[in-house]
Amino acid sequence: MDSLMIKGGTPLEGEVTISGAKNSTLPLMAATLLTREPCIIRRVPDLSDVKFMAQILASLGAQVKVDGSTVTIQANKISGYGDYDLIRKMRGSICILGPLLARLRKAKVSLPGGCVIGARPIDLHLKGMQALGTKIEIESGYVNCTAKRLLGSEVFLGGRAGPTVLGTANVMMAATLAEGVTLIESAACEPEVVDLANFLNAMGAKISGAGSPTITITGVKELHGAEHEVIPDRVEAATYAIAAAATDGEVTIHGARMDHMGAVLDKMREAGVKIERSGPSFKVKRGGQLKPVDIITQPYAGFPTDAQAQMMVLMMCTPGISIITERIFESRFMHVSELSRLGADIALEGPSAIVKGGKKLSGAPVMASDLRASAALVIAGLVGRGKTLVKRIYHLDRGYENIDEKLRKLGAWIERVEET
């Protein structure tokens, strides 16, 4: 198992190009199950989650061909029965449920189960499938869905923490081949939902309103193959932008969509970070003493929960008190205890972390617990004096393409080492 050894104290400088979005690629790959015809998806990031999804689709009977960042998938003959262990390992794979149900009127997939950041139930996904006329049985760790007919319907998908991203994607995909019109209320508005709707419409679906809380889907008889380019990864872009500011460096970010990053860039500007647009790219530099800001994570277009841990590190580098409140996942502060090993002063109070910033950080061995926590540990390691060893970086490889290479190109002292 690999770890990352980082020697901190070097400001990041130079240019970085953002990869395709993991959280768009997974539902896009699942959507190819909706047609017998080949689909071509471009700008697919080289990530372990993507490899997992390819294995899952192959286990259902689809042909998957990977050629660099272009993936061709043809789901001509498929079964509705997914590999238990493969699906259980990756939560994102739940989004095969809608396409299988739409195409085959049946689907049997393992329950995704919780993860370290929260219980993460799928009750809203199932509520949506039931609204379309699906019979659902949960038995021996499986969700077993069957439907004689899928009938368009109205469904409200708002939950305890607001809309659900993959729940919206799942119901939207199931409704594409249902009879009649489906209305999703309190739909998630994330750019990844819009990207999926654009791909489905390119396949012949009739979807309108994606990106707004109300999505309308008029069912069609069948869908055809299509080509699509994945949108850039706004969370990866936010991670490099925050790393640039935290290390007091100057980095130009290419290939990102600033219009997808409004809340993050706004909070960084509020803290005093200089963000300069240059054509389709933008440059990030600290530009003097930063000031503390308070963050509350919210559904899109609010501040993304997937950038909370990274922003916490920036606030650790900022003298003064900032309060970071996590409203989406109930236990997404696993990084706090590890960041404290590097000298951070953070107190947890219910859903909030109170960060006393400006403390000098020094390198230490730390353990990654989940994808975004590991990104925060890497940034803290780049800031801290001396060496930091980040263990269990398989979490990082799930969502960041070649992060150590990209950081080295920005002048970081970072290397992958065998874990002893």
Candidates 53-61, 72-80, 115-123, 130-138; binding stretch for ligand EPZ (CB under 6 A): 115-123
- Give the residue, chosen from 10, 25, 74, 164, that forms a contact with ligand EPZ under the rule CB under 6 A: 164
- Give the residue, chosen from 9, 38, 61, 159, that forms a contact with ligand EPZ under the rule CB under 6 A: 159
Positions in 383-402 near ligand EPZ (CB under 6 A): 399
Binding mask 313-352 toward ligand EPZ (x if CB under 6 A, else -) reads ---------------xx-----------------------
Q: Is 176 in the site for ligand EPZ (CB under 6 A)?
A: no
Residue 416's SS3 state is strand
- Give the residue, chosen from 371, 377, 382, 383, that forms a contact with ligand EPZ under the rule CB under 6 A: 371
| Amino acid code (one letter) for 61 | G
- Give the residue, chosen from 53, 56, 73, 124, that forms a contact with ligand EPZ under the rule CB under 6 A: 124
Candidates 162-170, 261-269, 334-342, 359-367; binding stretch for ligand EPZ (CB under 6 A): 162-170
| Dihedral sign (CA 313, 316, 320, 324) | positive
Candidates 37-45, 123-131, 207-215, 407-415; binding stretch for ligand EPZ (CB under 6 A): 123-131
Residue 69 or 170 having the CB closest to ligand EPZ: 170
Q: Report the 3 state secondary structure along 217-237.
A: EECCCCCCCCEEECCECHHHH
CA distance 183 to 384: 50
- Give the residue, chosen from 166, 237, 339, 389, that forms a contact with ligand EPZ under the rule CB under 6 A: 166
**In angstroms, what is the minimal distance from the CB of 227 to ligand EPZ?**
22
- Give the residue, chosen from 20, 167, 232, 292, that forms a contact with ligand EPZ under the rule CB under 6 A: 167
> What is the total count of residues that contact ligand EPZ (CB under 6 A)?
26
**Residues in CB range of 266: below 8 A, 6 or more apart:** none
CA distance 106 to 90: 21
**Catalytic hit among 39, 95, 115, 189:** 115
Residue 196 or 346 having the CB closest to ligand EPZ: 196
**Residue written as token pair 């200089």:** 274
Positions in 290-309 near ligand EPZ (CB under 6 A): 305-306
CA distances from 145 to 14, 78, 90, 262 (A): 51, 16, 20, 38
Q: How many Å is the maximal CA-CA distance in the chain?
A: 64
Classify residue 49 by burial, with Cβ atoms within 10 Å: 0-12, 13-18, 19+. buried
The H or E element containing residue 291 is none
Residue 115 designated active-site: yes
Q: Is 134 in the site for ligand EPZ (CB under 6 A)?
A: no
DSSP code string of 324-381: EE--S-TT--HHHHHHHHTT-EEEEETTEEEEEE-PPPB--EEE--SHHHHHHHHHHH
The H or E element containing residue 36 is none
Q: Is 98 in the site for ligand EPZ (CB under 6 A)?
A: no
Q: Report the 3 state secondary structure along 365-404.
A: EEECCCHHHHHHHHHHHHHCECEEEEECCHHHHCCCCCHH
Name the token pair of 315. 């606030």
CB contact at 8 A, 50 and 93: no
Q: Is 211 in the site for ligand EPZ (CB under 6 A)?
A: no
**In angstroms, what is the minimal distance from the CB of 234 to ligand EPZ?**
11
Q: Is 58 in the site for ligand EPZ (CB under 6 A)?
A: no
Residue 66 or 161 having the CB closest to ligand EPZ: 161
Q: Which residues are annotated as catalytic?
A: 115
Residues at the site binding ligand EPZ, with contacts judged by CB under 6 A: 23, 26, 91-92, 118, 120-125, 159-161, 164-167, 188, 305-306, 328-329, 371-372, 399
